[in-house]
């Protein structure tokens, strides 16, 4: 009995001790690793001179990974072909750089890894690591520093490339479109400042690009650009400011083609309003044509009648400012479009908003007497009309009162299109809200050189409402939808009532925009007054 009791007690104590020991042996995680990886060795050593190697190996004290290398890594001067960097997707204690380009003599090269090197366990970055070497007997040590602004936005884009082009005998204004720069850096993702380091003394053109395809060459269609009008000299103790902007695309027609019966789409880039399309093929006396802007695409639609039956192609000449090009367009017998009429807005209409009726085929005749507007009391409302032929839209302009409803009736045959199609009966209903549902903003400008364009924009810089002013006067924005806005002033230097962007080849900077320093909150039934002193 006693033997059995002690045996059971021994087993219980043994299991308890075993479980306790097991619990003590479990890791509790410890403190989180926040230390970045450490470089143990580099072969050749960082900042080597008389460099002749084709491979570099950098050894760390722990396993590392390379993240977002395409955006983070900057090689200056750029190499072509680009070096091979490993590892790309796996963890390793080494970074291997295989150089495939023929290096220039007496030149300092820098590999700027940004924050791409992180440890494998916690992702702690080795911040802004740079590997530098020179093919000559010394390391170039001069720098060019500054910061980036945006012509239209309060904060510039991330990952802006800043470049130095050497002003030697081969440099022309077309160089930035064709060749990579001599030196290159990047603002990365959280700063607006830049520093191009390890450069040699000389004369350079300083250019910034929001380089969308990351080829270090300027492409007007996709990239933003910023530049200084005159070359800079290095060394010089100056901080440079570069303003990024999107150039207005040069006017151009792209791939015109027949897309339906007697309708040719001329795809365009740049300013389409000044495009002139002229047919060069022989036409008959009864030939007519119209040109409209497509509502959905960057195309000008060329409508013509009657149909050509004895040819399979037409010749055209398209002109714009400093642009002229001939085109041959294949034609065939295709079904014509069916007339579709749309109207906007569809429900609520603003007090200063026009009601617009548009068609997909050009309007040829409009009988405004067959259009009527009545309010909620069935009282007839007088209106004026304005036809936008390029956009094929008829605006109905009328005075509106608060909390009212308006019925727009379009009787049959009010609209006859280019191909003699007519509309059926159309009915639309819109209504207004109360004045108290909106806010009114008054802006008093000080220290102004007129004329100016005063704008309220959303957070993305999209203009919500704007007013043009050419003399000292309060700027009133009425019936503004409650929301948060940004207030800015465009300095209309050339007095064309538009914001004009810059142009690299013409060495033109964009027109200045001044931002009010605080966000403007508009509340319902509230009329803030803002005093804005321009700097």
Among left, alpha and beta (phi > 0; psi -120 to 50; other), residue 301 is beta
Q: Residue 71 has what pLDDT?
A: 81
On average, the pLDDT of the chain sits at 92
| pLDDT tens-digit readout, 189-202 | 668 999 999 999 99
Q: Is the pLDDT of residue 3 over 60?
A: no
Q: Is the pLDDT of residue 19 over 50?
A: no
Q: Residue 25 has what pLDDT?
A: 40
Q: Which residues are CB-contacts of 257 (< 8 A; sequence separation ≥ 6)? A: 264, 265, 329, 330
Q: Is the pLDDT of residue 161 over 90?
A: yes
Full 3-state SS string of 419-435: CCCECCCEEEEEECCCH
As a whole number, mean pLDDT of residues 31-51 equals 90
Q: Residue 410 has what pLDDT?
A: 98
3-state secondary structure of 516: coil
Adjacent-strand bridge partners of 380: 374
| pLDDT tens-digit readout, 267-290 | 999 999 999 999 999 999 999 999
Q: Residue 17 has what pLDDT?
A: 46
Tokens of 306: 């009657």
Q: Which top CATH class is 437-533?
A: mainly beta
Widest CA span of the chain, in angstroms?
128
Query: Comparing 39-134 with 341-433, is the CATH topology the same?
Result: yes
Domain boundaries, the chain: 39-134, 145-244, 258-330, 341-433, 437-533
| pLDDT tens-digit readout, 86-107 | 988 789 999 999 999 999 999 9
CATH number, domain 39-134: 2.60.40.1220
As a whole number, mean pLDDT of residues 347-367 equals 97
Per DSSP, 187 falls in state -
| Beta strands in 29-98, from DSSP E residues, in sequence order | 39-43, 55-66, 74-76, 84-86, 92-98
Q: Is the pLDDT of residue 114 over 90?
A: no
Q: Is the pLDDT of residue 296 over 70?
A: yes
Full 3-state SS string of 222-233: CCEEEECCCCEE
Question: How is domain 341-433 classified at the CATH fold level?
Answer: Immunoglobulin-like (2.60.40)
Q: Residue 23 has what pLDDT?
A: 41
Q: How far apart are CA 412 and CA 409, in angstroms?
A: 10
As a whole number, mean pLDDT of residues 245-261 equals 95
Q: Residue 29 has what pLDDT?
A: 52
Proportion of the chain above pLDDT 70, given as a percent: 93
Pairing of strands 299-305, 130-134: unpaired
Q: How far apart are CA 467 and CA 454, in angstroms?
A: 5
Q: Residue 8 has what pLDDT?
A: 52
As a whole number, mean pLDDT of residues 172-193 equals 89
Tell me whether residue 38 is exposed, middle or buried, using C-beta atoms within 10 angstroms of its C-beta: 0 to 12, 13 to 18, 19 or more: exposed
Adjacent-strand bridge partners of 532: 445
Q: Is the pLDDT of residue 4 over 80?
A: no
Task: Quote the distance between the C-alpha of residue 314 and its chain's center.
Answer: 37
CATH number, domain 258-330: 2.60.40
Q: Residue 15 has what pLDDT?
A: 47
CATH number, domain 145-244: 2.60.40
Q: Is the pLDDT of residue 27 over 60?
A: no
3-state secondary structure of 178: helix
Stated pTM of the model: 0.81
Q: Which residues are CB-contacts of 334 (< 8 A; sequence separation ≥ 6)? A: 258, 260, 261
Q: Residue 214 has what pLDDT?
A: 84
Least confident range from 27-31, 430-434, 507-511: namely: 27-31
Q: Residue 1 has what pLDDT?
A: 44
């Amino acid at each position: 009995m006693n033997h059995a009791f002690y045996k059971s007690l021994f087993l219980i104590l043994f299991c308890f001790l075993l479980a306790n020991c097991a619990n003590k042996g479990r890791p509790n995680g410890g403190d989180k690793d926040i230390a970045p990886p450490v470089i143990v060795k580099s072969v050749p050593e960082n900042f080597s001179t008389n460099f002749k190697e084709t491979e570099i190996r950098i050894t760390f004290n722990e396993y590392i990974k390379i993240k977002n290398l395409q955006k983070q890594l900057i090689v200056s001067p750029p190499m072509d072909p680009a070096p091979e960097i490993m590892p790309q997707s796996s963890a390793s204690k080494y970074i291997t750089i295989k150089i495939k380009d023929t290096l220039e003599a007496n030149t300092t090269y820098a590999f700027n890894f940004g924050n791409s090197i992180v440890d494998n366990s916690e992702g702690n970055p080795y911040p802004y690591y740079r590997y530098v070497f020179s093919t000559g007997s010394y390391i170039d040590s001069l720098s060019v520093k500054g910061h980036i602004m945006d012509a239209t936005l309060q904060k510039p884009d991330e990952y802006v490339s800043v470049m130095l082009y050497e002003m030697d005998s081969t440099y022309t204004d077309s160089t930035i479109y064709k060749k990579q720069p001599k030196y290159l850096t990047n603002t990365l993702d959280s700063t607006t400042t830049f520093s191009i380091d390890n450069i040699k003394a000389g004369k350079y053109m300083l250019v910034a690009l929001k380089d969308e395809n990351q080829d270090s060459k300027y492409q007007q269609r996709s990239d933003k650009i910023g530049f200084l009008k005159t070359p800079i000299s290095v060394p010089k103790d100056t901080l440079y400011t570069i303003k990024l902007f999107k150039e207005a695309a040069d006017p151009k027609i792209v791939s015109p083609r027949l897309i339906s019966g007697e309708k040719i789409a001329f795809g365009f880039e740049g300013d389409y309003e000044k495009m002139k399309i002229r047919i060069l093929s022989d036409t008959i006396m009864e030939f007519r044509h119209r040109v409209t802007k497509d509502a959905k695409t960057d195309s000008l639609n060329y409508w013509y009648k009657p149909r050509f039956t004895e040819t399979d192609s037409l010749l055209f000449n398209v002109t714009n400012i400093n642009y002229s090009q001939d085109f041959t367009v294949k034609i065939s017998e295709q079904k014509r479009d069916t007339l579709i009429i749309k109207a906007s807005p569809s429900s609520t209409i603003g007090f200063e908003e026009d009601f617009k009726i548009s068609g997909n085929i050009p309007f040829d005749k409009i009988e405004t007497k067959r259009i009527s507007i009545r309010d909620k009391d069935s009282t007839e409302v007088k209106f004026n009309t304005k036809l936008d032929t390029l956009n094929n839209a008829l605006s109905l302009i009328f005075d509106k009162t608060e909390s009212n409803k308006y019925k727009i009736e379009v009787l049959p045959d009010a609209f006859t299109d280019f191909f003699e199609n007519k509309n059926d009966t159309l009915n639309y209903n819109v209504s207004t809200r109360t004045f108290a549902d909106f806010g009114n903003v008054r802006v008093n400008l000080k220290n102004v050189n007129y004329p100016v364009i005063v704008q309220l924009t959303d957070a993305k810089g999209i203009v919500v409402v704007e007013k043009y002013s050419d003399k000292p006067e309060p700027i009133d924005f009425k019936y503004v939808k409650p929301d948060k806005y940004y207030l800015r002033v465009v300095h209309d230097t050339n007095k064309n009532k538009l914001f004009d962007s810059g142009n690299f080849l013409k060495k033109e900077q964009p027109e200045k925009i001044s931002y009010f320093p605080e966000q403007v909150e508009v509340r319902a039934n509230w009329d803030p007054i803002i005093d804005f002193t321009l700097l």
